[in-house]
Amino acid sequence: HTYNMLASIEYANKSRAIFSKYEGYEVKSAFCNSLLGGCCIYLKQYEQAEEYLQCAIDLLQKNKEEDSLLYVKSTMGWLYSDQSMSTLAIRHLSEVTEKIPTHFKAIFLQAKEHYKLGEQATASTLIVKGLKICREIHNKEYIYHFFILKRLNENIPLEELEKIIQEGILYFEEEELWEYVVEYAELFATKCRQLENHQKVSDYFHICYQARRKSIAKGVLK
């Protein structure tokens, strides 16, 4: 939520300013930059996000923090995925998923980018892998993400897809994950628009509108 992001940016900047005054705190500064990068992605400030993340990568490489470096690279993959820069996203995400095979968030984003490129077989392999991991750890949120992507990748009829999307939206509403309600409602509305199903387009854009209002209200209340 925007309110939380702005608070995180404030705290991260304060922490980074403190760490910069002392030697031996470069890794902590890198974590601050990584957090700032993630916040900027959420706020769609992509150029600034890239600067923060690259700074974090440089500091972690300098200090040979390989594990932490991979997590920042997964965030860099998210940055490019959010801009539909699929090839760049896959380049970063594939490095993460090769070295951390259980990183289901990176697996999901990588599968999503292969799907966008029409690489169904590669996407399918990653989706199966990601679903298995998420079922083993009982991560319900990502089970929905993977299952919706699986059905999109299989190019199922619109009526079947709607049932899956509705199930996902219901879950995300219950969990107050409004950004995903918006994402999947917009996705389905766009597919309906392509088929000139104007009533469905109207219905799902209304869901988006309501979700955005609830997201704003939640941020204000906090």
What tens-digit pLDDT sequence spans the chain (222 residues)?
A: 455 777 787 888 788 888 877 778 888 999 999 999 999 998 899 999 999 999 999 999 999 999 999 999 999 999 999 999 999 999 999 999 999 999 999 999 999 999 999 999 999 999 999 999 999 999 999 999 999 999 999 999 999 999 999 999 999 999 999 999 999 999 999 988 887 788 889 999 999 999 988 887 766 443
CA distance 127 to 141: 14
- Does 199 reside within a domain? yes
- Does 19 reside within a domain? no
- Does 202 reside within a domain? yes
Residue 37 vs residues 8, 57, 187: alpha-carbon distances, Å: 11, 11, 26
Handedness of CA 82, 84, 88, 93 (dihedral sign): positive
Residue 26 vs residues 18, 32, 50, 126, 156: alpha-carbon distances, Å: 11, 10, 18, 35, 49
Residue 12 vs residues 15, 17, 91, 176: alpha-carbon distances, Å: 5, 9, 28, 25
Number of domains in the chain: 1
Which of 30, 70, 68 is CA-nearest to residue 52? 30
- Does 219 reside within a domain? yes
CB 82 within 8 A of CB 41: yes
- Does 222 reside within a domain? yes
Instruction: Say what the pLDDT of residue 221 is.
Output: 42
Instruction: Say what the pLDDT of residue 2 is.
Output: 52
- Does 103 reside within a domain? no
Query: Based on the number of CB atoms within 10 Å of its own CB, is 44 exposed (0-12), middle (13-18) or buried (19 or more)?
Result: exposed
Range(s) of the domain holding residue 190: 156-222
- Does 120 reside within a domain? no
- Does 105 reside within a domain? no
Residue type, 168: G
Backbone torsions φ then ψ of 23, nearest 5 degrees: -80, 150
